Amino acid sequence: MDEIASITAPATTAAAVSVNPLHALAAASHDVAAARLVPLGPAARLAFRGREAAIGPVGEAFGVALPREACRRAEANGRAALWLGPDEWILLAPGADPAPLFAAIDSAAAGLPHSLVDVSSRSVGIEISGPRAAFVLNQGNPLDLSLESFPVGMCTRTVFHKAEIVLSRVAPETFHIDVWRSFAPYVWELLEEGRRELA
Amino acid sequence: MLIIDCPWCGKRPEIEFRYGGEAHIARPADPSALSDEEWAEFLYNRTNPKGLHAERWRHIHGCGRYFNAVRDTVSDFFVVTYKAGEQRPENLGPDVDGASIGGDK
């Protein structure tokens, strides 16, 4: 019986869930100037889906007008709204507390057909920057990442090897990846693999 | 790699997509009024053509939307893609056994 007790997993606490799974990997990572890898800090992430009437009020409450062009992100005051589908956006507020933000947006869309979900803990962010960042991403992603076909301000859900990611270009040589928490070490280590030859 | 033109996102690699079966199959309005044969016809029987085939695809690792595509089942060439709910485009080319189009593109 003692044996069984000793292999029982400890109860998961809220604090344990919010630990970034990439911190240990990042601490052991070598700096490669051609493609720097940095885990992004915590952020409030809200998944919003809604009909036409709700789109305007939600953008106003969030502080960023939701982009209506396919695969584009809009930014204002450090917050970003990412187009994921014709009626689907992810609202990103780095460092913000999700609860009051959720309440403000939810009340702005009250009575209008929509869905708003707090997915802040679902994923973590990774920044990859440098002259060979696109090259490293292309090891596991087949999109054309040239500036002509993937300009600054473009974002899209896509794949990196076998994991689904949300990829955005925030500067000519800087990309942000949003990946589900449990896939993050997989993506991070394959990015490391991809840039090993650049070290 | 096969490139599929999503009506929302534009040209994307095929690994972002999932196949969704034949398009334009409407569910009968009143299933209880159908005979077993008619219901089986709706559930299981598909046209399975050699040539142009209208089918559903989902851009699952992209915008997540279902759309329709006309694909040549011989050459695997995507002739046209269009949004769900739209009519299948007419006059797309040969649609008879063995007459595939776009195979060398």
What radius of gyration, in Å, describes the C-alpha atoms of chain A?
Answer: 18
Q: What is the pLDDT of residues A57-91, one digit of tens each?
A: 999 999 999 999 999 999 999 999 999 999 999 99
Distance (Å) of CA A92 to CA A8, A41, A59: 36, 12, 12
Asked if pLDDT for residue B86 goes beyond 80, the answer is yes
Q: How far apart are CA A21 and CA A36, in angstroms?
A: 18
Per-residue pLDDT, B91: 77
Which residues make beta-bridge pairs with A171?
Answer: A174
A68: number of CA atoms within 13 Å, CB side? 6
Q: How confident is the model at residue A151 (pLDDT cuts 50, 70, 90)?
A: very high
CA distances for A108 relative to A8, A76, A94, A97, B52, angstroms:
45, 19, 21, 18, 48
- What residue in A sits closest to B65 (Cα-Cα)? A85
Cα–Cα distance between A104 and A3 in angstroms, integer? Answer: 49
- Helices A98-108 and A52-62 cross at an angle (nearest 10°) of 140
Rounded Cα gap, residues A46 and A43, in angstroms: 10
Q: Which tokens sit at B42?
A: 């709706």
- Which tokens is A82 given? 């990412």
Size of interface A-B (CB pairs under 8 A): 36
Nearest CA in chain A to B9: A70
CA distance A152 to A174: 9
Chain B closest-CA separation from residue A157 CA (Å)? 5
Would the pLDDT of A18 be above 70? no
With CB atoms and an 8 Å threshold, state whether B64 touches A71: no
The two three-digit tokens of residue A159, written as one number: 């794949």
Residue with the bigger pLDDT between A141 and A4: it is A141
pLDDT above 60 for A173:
yes
Question: Does B65 or B91 have the greater pLDDT score?
Answer: B65
What does the alpha-carbon distance between residue A28 and residue A151 come to, in Å, rounded to a whole number? Answer: 32
For residue A184, pLDDT beyond 80: yes
pLDDT at position B1 is 83
Per-residue pLDDT at B104 exceeds 90: no
Per-residue HEC secondary structure of chain B comes to CCEEEECCCEEEEHHHCEEEEECCCCCCCCHHHCCHHHHHHHHHCCCCCCCEEEEEEECCCCCCCEEEEEEECCCCCEEEEEECCCCCCCCCCCCCCCCCCCCCC
Contact B63 A88 (CB under 8 A): yes
Residues 6+ apart with CB under 8 A from B7: B65, B67, B81, B82, B83
Q: What share of chain A is helix, strand, coil (3-state, %, to 5)?
A: 30, 35, 35
pLDDT band at B95 (very low <50, low <70, confident <90, very high): low
**Prediction pTM value:** 0.87
DSSP-derived letter for residue A24 is: H
Amino acid letter for position A83: W
User: Which residue of chain A comes nearest to B8, CA vs CA?
Assistant: A70
Structure tokens at A43: 């952020």
Q: Which pLDDT tens digit goes with each residue over A26-46? A: 999 999 999 999 999 999 999
Which residues in chain B are closer than 8 Å to A157, comparing Cβ atoms? 61-64
β-partners of residue A47 are: A90, A117
